[in-house]
Structure 1
Amino acid sequence: MDNNFIRTEIIEGLQKLFSLRLIGSPAEDILQVTGETWIVAFSKKTEGWKIEDEGRIEKAFNLILADIERWPSPKQVIALIPKRKKPTELAPPKFTSEQIAANKKRLAETLKIIVAKMEMTK
Structure 2
Amino acid sequence: MHEAWLKREIAAGVSGLLALRLDGSPAADAMVKTAEIWLIAMTKGREWKEEQDSVRIRKAFETLFATCERWPPPALLLRELPVQPVEQRQIKHKRTEEQIRTGNKALDQITAGMKRRANPDAALKTDNQIEETKRQAMAALAELQDRANKPMNMEQHQ
Under a length normalisation based on structure 2, what TM-score does the superposition of the two structures give? 0.55
Q: Following superposition of structure 1 onto structure 2, how do residues 22-101 of structure 1 map, counting pairs within 5 Å?
A: 22-44=22-44, 47-50=46-49, 51-94=51-94
- Paired with 2:61 and 2:83, the residues of 1 have a C-alpha distance of 14
Identity percentage of aligned residues: 35
8 Å Cα contact 1:9-1:55 kept in structure 2: no
Alignment match, 1:6:
6
Is contact 1:24–1:71 with CA below 8 Å preserved after alignment? yes
Inter-partner Cα distance in structure 2 for 1:94 and 1:10: 48
Deviates more, 1:17-26 or 1:47-56: 47-56
Q: Distance in 2 between matches of 1:56 and 1:19?
A: 21
Q: Deviations over 1:32-81 (max 9, x none)?
A: 00010100010125x22223222111111111111111111111111111
- Amino acid across the alignment from 2:54: E
* Secondary structure in 2 matching 1:79: helix
Structure 1: unaligned runs, 5 residues or longer:
101-122
Task: State the AA in 2 paired with 1:60.
Answer: A
- Give the structure with the larger helix fraction: 2
CA distance in 1, matches of 2:3, 2:81: 16
- Native 8 Å contact 1:10 1:39 kept in 2: yes
**Alignment partners' CA distance in 1, 2:52 and 2:94:** 30
Higher relative CO (Cα under 8 Å, sequence separation at least 6) belongs to 1
Instruction: Look up the equivalent residue of 1:75 and give its one-letter code.
Output: A
Inter-CA distance 66–88: structure 2 relative to 1 (3 Å threshold)? same
In 2, distance between residues paired with 1:68 and 1:54?
21
Per the TM alignment, residue 95 of structure 1 is displaced from its structure 2 partner at its CA by 5.8
Q: Which runs of 5+ in 2 are unaligned?
A: 100-158
Aligned residues: 97
What secondary structure does 1:88 align onto? coil
